[in-house]
Structure 1
Amino acid sequence: MDLKETDILGSSIDQHWYYCSKAAATTRLLGNTPVERILDVGAGSGFFSHHLLTQTAATEAWCVDISYDADSDATTAGKPVHYRRSIDSVDADLVLLMDVLEHVDDDVGLLKAYVDKVPSGSRFLMTVPAFQFLWSGHDDFLEHKRRYTLPQLETVVRDAGLTVKQGTYFFGAVFPIAAMLRLSPKGAQPSPSRSQLKQHHPLVNRLLKTLCSIELPFMGVNRLAGLTVFVLAQKP
């Protein structure tokens, strides 16, 4: 996740409807397969690693991000978390790339580099923003290169040498709102380069969180539309 968004939401990030719902979707998509060691690429604050260390039996996380000032170590729920600017290889059974691939020119190359760093059998969970027509000043602010359709991300995953296990869209319940705003005459105009994430009124936050929770049980079959693309894959 992007540290720019962490700066905006601060310590309340785990209560924000978007990140709370995305964390729940992550846990659901991973299912009951045990996770021990996590490699979190482009981890930022390590929000998703912290969530899994707290909510599952995962025992350790390696968070890699070139934006860190220096290497450091900490704990979450009494479990070790290693923050590194780079890493050669790690015996991880789960690799996270949460909103990372859209930031680089060579998405296949970046993914392949981390495929080569972990053992066979390791699972990869990736998310990216969906649909180029939803491009806005938010993408400019976060320095995105592109947005994806589900088939496009699945192609990237296969080209990097992984086997796709499941692909889906999420945030389908709020997709019509975003699409309507972007396709309106006003929304089609260039927008300022700024984040669209913000602190909402508690009632609005609860409503959006409820909409996403209703969608959650059906996310595995949604190959139609959403704001985010999820792909779960495995290294042969």
Structure 2
Amino acid sequence: MLQALMPNICSHSLVIPEIRFSAEKTLTIKAGENIKLSCNISGRPVPQVTWYKDGKELDKMLVDITTVIGSSSLFIRDADRENRGVYTIEAKNSSGTKKEDVLTFTITVIVFGRPSPPSGPFEISGVTSESCVLTWSEPTDDGGTDITNYIVEKRESGQTSWQVVNSSVKRPTIKVTHLTKYMEYTFRVCAENKFGVSKPIESEAIVAEHPFSKWN
């Protein structure tokens, strides 16, 4: 009789982790926007949660990761092109049926933005008293979309402002004409895509004369 009155001691069953994302498996944003990834996580015992980017564990000092019982989220403010990549969340616990049960969920983050500067070397050739030819290379990062054009500018010696030579150059080379004889010039080039204009790459100074000599 006494045995019948003793309370039953129930142990909670062990449950392997489960990750539930409400978002799609691809997130596309523009540079300057925020990245926010969040999900619900269940399992017993409470799963251990780890976030990765491109296979490497994320540094919590560089991104905002918040994990509480039942959920985890990752937040990056003002994202740039460096934040694009494949993000993975891993939840694991000891289920009892296996030594360790691990569940992962992966989401690809695409960040569009303006391109990086055109690549060097920035070469100047064919210099005469009236013209020269500028040549450079495409940016190492196109911003995630095609380069639409290059913007070429020049600056005369003693001037602080830049003058546009051509704002719709399609290829990484241009012949600059209408230079003033014996005038010193510096040139710069920016790349443009539909998301904006890159920082410039700047040339050395040259003097418009024939034969060409560098300004010392």
Normalised by the length of structure 2, the TM-score is 0.23
User: Which structure is higher in RCO with an 8 Å CA cutoff and minimum separation 6?
Assistant: 1
More strand by share: 2
Give TM-score, length-normalised by structure 1.
0.22
More helix by percentage: 1
